[in-house]
Amino acid sequence: MTYAVSRLADTRCRVGESPVWDGERNRLLWADCRAGRIYVHDFNVGELFNWTLPEQVRSFGLAEASRLVVALISGIYLFDTQSQGLEFLVDPEPEHAGSRSSRRLNDGKVGPDGAFWVGSMHTDAPTAALYRITPDGQCERKVEGLSTSNGLAFSADGTVMIHTDSRAEWIDRYSLDASTGELGERTRIATPGEADGRPDGGAFDSEDCYWSAGVTAGCINRYDLNGRLLEKIPVPVRAPTMPCFGGPDMKTLFITSLRRENGAGDECGNVFMMSVDVPGVPIGRFGFPV
**What is d(CA 200, CA 74) in angstroms, rounded to the nearest whole number?**
22
Mark residue 236 as left, alpha or beta (left: phi above 0; alpha: psi -120 to 50; beta: remaining).
alpha
**What is d(CA 212, CA 164) in angstroms, rounded to the nearest whole number?**
9
Catalytic residue among 91, 107, 200, 205: 200
**What is d(CA 22, CA 77) in angstroms, rounded to the nearest whole number?**
19
- Whether 157 is a known active-site residue: answer no
Q: Which of these, 51, 143, 67, 80, lies nearest to 110 by C-alpha position?
A: 67
Residue 209 has phi, psi (to 5 degrees) of -110, 145
> What one-character-per-residue DSSP string does 188-209 give?
EEE---TTT--EEEEEEBTTS-
**What is d(CA 53, CA 87) in angstroms, rounded to the nearest whole number?**
12
The set of catalytic residues is: 200
